[in-house]
Amino acid sequence: MLRGMPYYWVPVGALIDAASVEVIAHLCTSSKATWDSIADNAVQYADLPDIKTFIHELNAE
């Protein structure tokens, strides 16, 4: 469980069909590698957002 909430964190690379996963947010973009580029229109968070607020925003879309 994630911080006492009914959610689990699963790395996308652990999924069998990871290619079909849609990126909806990028976390910790302030510490991304200089060679890394973010080419989509997903929401970007410089740092980790408050987990409860983040989950609420994910469910609102």
Of 48 and 1, the structure prediction assigns the larger pLDDT to: 48
- The answer to whether residues 29 and 49 touch, using CB atoms and an 8 Å cutoff, is no
Q: pLDDT, tens digit, for every residue of 22-59? A: 888 899 999 999 999 888 888 899 999 988 888 888 88
- Percent helix, strand and coil across the chain, each rounded to 5? 30, 10, 60
Contact 43, 24 (CB under 8 A): yes
Whether this model's pTM surpasses 0.85: no
Kindly state the DSSP code that residue 40 receives in the 8-state scheme: S
Between the CA atoms of 36, 19, 42 and 26, what dihedral angle is there, to the nearest 10 degrees? -50
